[in-house]
Structure 1
């Protein structure tokens, strides 16, 4: 499967002299999650059908398949959250959503939805990294668990207490922050946010 924009789409835009369309972060997150599920299923099928290396035995095959299965289940949960999200295009949201979906008292603050995550969310993520001893990366699930204890609104209509991994990914995507499969200090390999990406999003030079 190819993704947008690819070479042909870019060439078409150039030839026609049209303006490139702005990518919707939520739609991109959906596409990335779907592609990841497909890739993991292909890897899992290949691992199951490929004979184990000499001397590896069935235990090695089971270990490899178990790790891939866990990653596939995690990716499936993320995709399900994105598909079930109440996010929609801004033009439609005002029609289909009530005035106070976030549960706040009716007022201007509730109805003024920021287009991008606030600096407060980035600061909150930075504080979590600091509390954990400034690791090079923090698992998405661990970051969400820590942020859910905070009061207030994280972004859009979502309170910190209502954050999920998919919602956090949607809020951080406009700042160029995306999860990557990273092996953490405790040995777990999880979908994680890197400290370097967070500092870059906050405008902190990481090469000094």
Structure 2
């Protein structure tokens, strides 16, 4: 499959001259979300098992654990929804209740920002074009946008970790920033997003 071949699968395709096929975005989203969920569970277990000396203060450790738990709680329902949602081209059988269809299967039928960078900058504009926006605040705004981010996740299903993954190819990452309200948070800078605009 294009986009998700293991090394041996790629080798087999080459030797057998099999034509690679495109991933179904809905199936890809299920797999990505499952792997993300498994990684979060592993990180939580590692966090719980660590009992040695730590340079972080108790408050910093609590902040890290809270952020990890919030992320885990956000991703779980996404996998449940993906597993129970029909592809948009699937016809519901007569007599069965209508099910929610999945914008990942036919993204062309849903309004799409030109890129996740454009989408992020639209949230900055909505907030009055500040120099920086906390990662969590940006995700909250992006979740109101319809459609699919970079062909991977619906905007409504974004998390801070997913946003970081989507922006990484654009070389945009968070920085520790003291915001106007006094909070010091991992934040995205407007200047970095503008510099990363694909059509510049």
The TM-score, its normalising length taken from structure 2, stands at: 0.58
Aligned to 1:88: 87
Deviation at 1:198, TM superposition (A): 8.7
1:18 aligns with 2:2: no
Secondary structure of the residue that 1:40 maps to in structure 2?
A: helix
Deviation at 1:66, TM superposition (A): 2.2
Counterparts in 2 of 1:18 and 1:65: CA distance versus 1, 3 Å: same
Q: Is the 8 A contact 2:143 2:155 kept in 1?
A: yes
Aligned to 2:140: 141
1:7 aligns with 2:7: yes
Structure 1 residues without counterparts, runs of 5 or longer: 103-113, 148-153, 157-165, 171-177
Higher helix share: 1
Counterparts in 2 of 1:75 and 1:168: CA distance versus 1, 3 Å: same
Count of paired positions? 159
Q: Is the 8 A contact 1:52 1:60 kept in 2?
A: no
Q: Is the 8 A contact 2:123 2:141 kept in 1?
A: no
Deviation at 1:189, TM superposition (A): 5.6
Q: CA RMSD in A?
A: 4.3
Counterparts in 2 of 1:131 and 1:57: CA distance versus 1, 3 Å: closer
d(CA) in 1 for partners of 2:55, 2:11: 50
Structure 2 residues without counterparts, runs of 5 or longer: 100-104, 166-172
d(CA) in 2 for partners of 1:18, 1:58: 55
Q: Is the 8 A contact 2:139 2:163 kept in 1?
A: yes
1:121 aligns with 2:112: yes
The worse-fitting range, judged by mean Cα deviation, of 4-13 and 69-78 is 69-78
